[in-house]
Structure 1
């Protein structure tokens, strides 16, 4: 299997590829709209990922949104102890850089899939494999980890 291919047949796209350019033209004012998942917002602590720097590198300009359900999930997680609570606290701080959006879904993953399926976002940023598969099945691109701490676009 090629390095870019996934087991489900979808392909990852490195920065600068045509899909990055396509995403850059999708949103208002030419900037793509990307939805951030809880796992992506916690990745700076859990995976040493510079989330917004990687999104800048990959997409250039973009508009980041966070479903209210993701904010609620982060809020619940930061009430605990240990590394997960710390990562959730950092994630909640990072989420302030994005616009909060409402959905009819109360579960974070369902909210992200609904945004993608409805075409309200151009891609979902996540490091959660099962969620990535659901977003790809909804015919939307996923931006996720490739390698240790680099983001790449995976097309449906």
Structure 2
């Protein structure tokens, strides 16, 4: 069975900011998955990349990862976190990948498991 894994903006920035091998970690945790990113996340990454600096570099890499490795989906919500939660509430997401604590809580409240950072550069699943 293929699980839908919705990735948040900060998850896509983890490879640069936290030295997390995001897609390798997802492979380690899950048998068969489809990384998915809302268009609002891609747009947020694009805007952050334009600002430059370290955050801009991480966002640029994240943008490239999203467009190269993820299924991109449209949502009603234009704010990235709301778009992720929309996919969780609609039953599209089997997992949400984020380090954003409020977003983790919103995903768990929607009944969706959360994948987040545990330790220095490993990911772990939290069930709702």
- The number of equivalent residue pairs is 127
The structure that is helix-richer by fraction is 2
Match for residue 43 of structure 1? Answer: 14
Gaps of 5+ in 1: 1-29
Structure-to-structure mapping, 1:8-47, within 5 angstroms: 30-47=1-18
Q: Which runs of 4+ in 1 moved over 4 A?
A: none
Kindly indicate whether residue 31 of structure 2 is the aligned counterpart of residue 60 of structure 1.
yes
Match for residue 109 of structure 1? Answer: 81
TM-score (norm 1): 0.80
Aligned-partner SS, 1:78: helix
Match for residue 113 of structure 2? Answer: 141
Distance 1:97 1:140 in 2: 22
Kindly indicate whether residue 45 of structure 2 is the aligned counterpart of residue 74 of structure 1.
yes
Aligned-partner SS, 1:54: helix
Distance 1:60 1:78 in 2: 32
The one-character-per-residue Cα deviations of 1:61-81 (angstroms, maximum 9, x if unpaired) are: 211110000000001000012
Shift of 1:121: 1.2
TM-score (norm 2): 0.97
Distance 1:84 1:102 in 2: 25
Gaps of 5+ in 2: none
Cα-Cα RMSD: 0.7
Kindly indicate whether residue 106 of structure 2 is the aligned counterpart of residue 152 of structure 1.
no
